Amino acid sequence: MARLSLGLLIASVGMLVVSGCAVNPVTGRQELALFSVSASQEISLGQQAFPKAVQQMGGEFRDPALQQYVDRVGQRLGQVSQRPELPYQFKVVNDSTPNAFALPGGSIAITRGLLVNMENEAQLASVLGHEIGHVTARHSVQAMQRGTLMGIGLAVLGATTGQAAYGALAQQAGALAAGLLENSYSRDQERQADQLGIDYMVQAGYDPQGGVQLQEFFFRKMEGGAEPMWLAGLFRTHPFSKERMGNVEAYIQQRYAHTRNNPRYVMNTDAFRSATTRLRQTKPAYDLYDKARELERSGQLSQAIATYQQAATALPDEPLILTGLGMAYLRADNVASARPHLQRAVQLDGGYFQSRFGLGFIHLKENRVADAVRELEASMELMPTTQAGYILGGAYEKQGNRTKALELYKAVAEADPRGQYGQAAAKRIGELERR
């Protein structure tokens, strides 16, 4: 199985991508870019990076009815946009940090921590409409065209499918997702996305006052000395200011005065309240979970475990909380206590890389090698990490599969040559090749 290096991949696709101009679908103006990204490339990039971005944001929030509801609202807005043909998808991700993000091509996510602060469907529509605005105006493509992300994007586009999931392609898609999640938009881009979002809301039949309500809520958050989670989340990716709020109000006043107190434009408060019932019920337990994570980060491991326990008692069947508890026990070297929580987390939701990793690690420690390989491969397929890659390499060695172990160690060493696992992998390669 051939695995190409990043340099080779860029060289091989260099021919396919012609630098020049692209027409912006929203403004109709020509855009000068070093590389032009076609609509189908834009969609392909977004669709490959999105699952990895979702994993990095805690996975999908487990509430299928809520997921469908949010997707329905988003699709309604996408259909009235300048780019109705894009394959839009909308997910609620299980992250407490209030945030929302859009990847090129129409893959959009909103965090549990932002959604739980909202009061009606029009407010939700204003956030999703704003994110759709970043997509239709190609702000998310422009973000990708900056600097090193473009190289990674080209590698993803040029890579042929059929490689192992933990090969170069998956690694690049993960790196692209991480880079795009770090992006913050400019003030001009924010203004344009705000206006586009309001346009879509009105065309889809929502009361644009929902957008004003949300901006006022953001303003109160900012004025009250924003909490770290807001500063690290929405206010970083989508810079907020009093001026921005004023611009939204003026724009609605100017263009959409006829929507004021007009029953044709809805807030849909009841539908929203009912769709988000479970989300709101989970909040106290997730507050405890966030506190536990904070304690764990600051090295207070036993207090962290006690707090995870409280969260798991308040909300017993929540996979992310069980994963946090299990991983904290693993950090404390208490495998016996970690096992049941990680087993239950995987049983409830096999689609989150961290719980599959933790369970695989336990299987390996307890010498169930085949089970370990299964879980670690699943984890790597969901979200390749150098940590899981290195541990999986060890599991292959225990199975006597030298070829696969070497292949994986090489991928880890190449992905992170200076890191802890990259260096450990390089050492194992040396030892295996000397045999």
Residue ranges in 298-401 assigned as alpha helix (H): 301-314, 319-331, 335-348, 353-365, 369-382, 386-399
Shortest reach from residue 190's CB to Zn ion, in Å = 5
Rounded Cα distance between 290 and 298, Å, is 13
Q: Does 238 bind Zn ion (CB under 5 A)?
A: yes
CB of 212 to Zn ion, least distance (A): 16
Q: Which stretch binds Zn ion (CB under 5 A): 82-90, 91-99, 193-201, 406-414?
A: 193-201
Pinpoint the alpha helices (H) of 100-233.
112-115, 121-136, 139-145, 147-158, 168-182, 187-203, 209-223, 228-232
Closest CB to Zn ion among 211 and 394?
A: 211
Using the rule CB under 5 A, is 193 a contact of Zn ion? yes
Q: Work out how close the CB of 357 gets to Zn ion at its nearest, in angstroms, rounded to a whole number.
A: 32
- By beta carbon distance, the residue nearest Zn ion is 238
**DSSP letters spanning 248-302:** HHHHHHHH-GGGTT-TTSB--HHHHHHHTHHHHHTHHHHHHHHHHHHHHHTT-HH
Is position 139 an interface residue for Zn ion (rule: CB under 5 A)?
no
Residue placing its CB nearer to Zn ion in the complex, 49 or 137: 137
When the beta carbons of 184 and 298 are compared against Zn ion, the nearer one is 184
**Please, what is the Cα angle at 69 between 63 and 70, to 5 degrees?**
90
- For Zn ion, give the closer residue by CB, 199 or 377: 199
Residue 432, amino acid: L
Place of tokens 């990204």: 37
Q: Which is nearer to Zn ion, 92 or 137 (CB)?
A: 137
Asked if 352 and 382 touch (Cβ cutoff 8 Å), the reply is yes
Token pair, residue 65, equals 């009815």
Minimum CB–partner distance for residue 235 and Zn ion (Å) = 11
Q: Which is nearer to Zn ion, 182 or 270 (CB)?
A: 182
- Determine the interface stretch with Zn ion among 198-206, 218-226, 234-242, 406-414 (rule: CB under 5 A): 234-242
CB under 5 A: which stretch of 8-16, 18-26, 173-181, 192-200 binds Zn ion? 192-200
- Residue whose CB is less far from Zn ion, 135 or 342: 135
Burial class (CB in 10 A: 0-12, 13-18, 19+), 123: buried
Two tokens, residue 120: 């009606």
Q: Which stretch binds Zn ion (CB under 5 A): 59-67, 215-223, 235-243, 411-419?
A: 235-243
Q: Is 404 in the site for Zn ion (CB under 5 A)?
A: no
Cα–Cα–Cα angle for 268, 271, 276, rounded to 5 degrees: 120
Choice between 24 and 44, CB closer to Zn ion = 24
Q: Compute the distance between CA of residue 221 and CA of residue 184 in angstroms, rounded to an integer.
A: 19
Question: Which residues within the stretch 93-112 sit at the binding site for Zn ion (CB under 5 A)?
Answer: none
Name the residue among 10, 12, 30, 177 with its Cα closest to residue 107. Answer: 177
Total residues at interface with Zn ion (CB under 5 A) = 4
Q: Going by DSSP bridges, is the β-strand pair 107-111/30-33 parallel, antiparallel, or unpaired? A: unpaired
Closer to Zn ion at the Cβ: 88 or 289?
88
Angstrom distance (rounded) from CA 157 to CA 295: 41
- Least spacing, CB of residue 22 vs Zn ion, in Å: 21
Part of the chain binding Zn ion (CB under 5 A), chosen from 238-246, 319-327, 365-373, 416-424: 238-246
Q: Determine, following the binding rule CB under 5 A, whether residue 128 of this chain makes contact with Zn ion.
A: no
Closest distance to Zn ion from the beta carbon of 299 (Å): 35
**Residue whose CB is less far from Zn ion, 89 or 140:** 140
Rg for the chain, CA atoms, rounded: 23
In this structure, the number of other CB atoms found within 10 A of the CB of residue 116 comes to: 16
User: Cβ of residue 91: shortest distance to Zn ion, in angstroms?
Assistant: 17
Part of the chain binding Zn ion (CB under 5 A), chosen from 119-127, 163-171, 183-191, 310-318? 183-191
**CA 54, CA 59: separation in Å to the nearest integer?**
5
Range in contact with Zn ion (rule: CB under 5 A) among 50-58, 191-199, 268-276, 397-405: 191-199
Q: Which residues lie near Zn ion (CB under 5 A)?
A: 185, 190, 193, 238
